[in-house]
Structure 1
């Protein structure tokens, strides 16, 4: 907050030193901290070495191409953490708005603009940054909890990371991207969070589970859903957590979804989850050979326990990785 109680932030102002300084004047007026960078290289250096930058304001002047490239670098993660990007356009550059947004800018403002509008755009950029930080913090907490729960089961060390990796690889093969890919990877990381309700003696039982114990195990998808449902930032993850044990033929749990009622993301995680369970040691048996995994997964796909196309995609991915390992 500044002295007037208005939200404020730390801004990296990028652009030629002789360019219109309306944004800088607004920053000074409201006592925002401002760092200057006069080139793309200097901006990237500061973003890698400075902490606490909330907003990057790009004033490209006539060299728009160079600074749209800077936008792309920022959105590819070439900074210590997420930053909001606000691009300032010259008076006759309104036709370039689409190019700016395509490059990854969060907002743009065309000059000349009233000072109050400049301030509002800056405030909005800071809010985007803070909201993203909150989401990342919440994700880190939930992921840590998921890993702690995984630690209850000595036989599943690394399971969620592998399921997330396989899920992301399958997802890329079938065109999952953007927010959906984020939901897929996060959902895979926390898909078993509901196992907090499962007693250790059931999770780690070396022999076959009784019917009553299986009923306890089957509670974990709905329990995970109930844990995450109050958190708005996990809204898109809930289908993965609740439905990763549903089956396309309707024999899964907890809701018995069938066919097209079962969304793509939980279908993907189901394939990845089953493969990792088969190919790693479990309390009741050692890891199966890859050929045995394929036989079991292929049979499951044929009878509708798993999505056949997604199962084939996993075969291609793991088979290719094995070829690379041999080379």
Structure 2
């Protein structure tokens, strides 16, 4: 049992979140589960009004382990690890979260098998996943190794302090570097897809041309996310008639057998370390398939020089004069 004295008059959920350094959603789960008492009386209302000097007691619930019927038999490259965070290079073909429709091991199962799970104060064991990538997208992801790190990183994601840059191969070059600020919602006829929907959740992306082959059939572009909607990059590009190679769901058409994957890769992740407050930058190397496709016309050294993190970050530093789609 954990006990402490209220330092001021406040809502119960606010005081608990501040003291425990966990998210309000986790606090809400604790309170609704009957695990919190004020002056020795169980309180189940998050908005309960505390007075200065009230005694708050917390009973940690039994942890419900992650249920899994699949064994992860794939490898995941670890780019960085310390006591608070794990940074990985997610391979293509791996789904991040389990779902009834997913009949194979996911990244969550891999994390559990490797011992990377959080004992949530809410009573449920969970993976410390902060953000997700589509099954067909490879690249850099950060995973929290404790509840405090998860809360801090989630706040960075919400406040836009966490920066993400993707690389993609497209069927057509951009007319010019651009910002797309168009809301994204579920497609009315195809529930596997999202689309631009007026009044749906806001979504904003920036896109820049990096390299174009001489025949303009393969075009390397970079994308920066300001929000994190499902399929956001793919939907926004489709809305201006640009399609990622291999992305049949969003309009790419080819009879060629050489397109073996969706050519979208989470390349750079910048974050503030949850303990040291140091700005950290991680890069997931560009997969070989990208070089194989673009390298027939563009030298690998040119690709590497054009995609150094400093150059890409400079490109996106000032997009105020770019073409704007809304």
Whose Rg is larger?
A: 1
TM exceeds 0.5? no
Structure that is richer in helix per residue: 1
Structure that is richer in strand per residue: 2
Return the structure number with greater relative CO, CA threshold 8 A, min gap 6. Answer: 2
| TM-score, scaled to structure 1 | 0.27
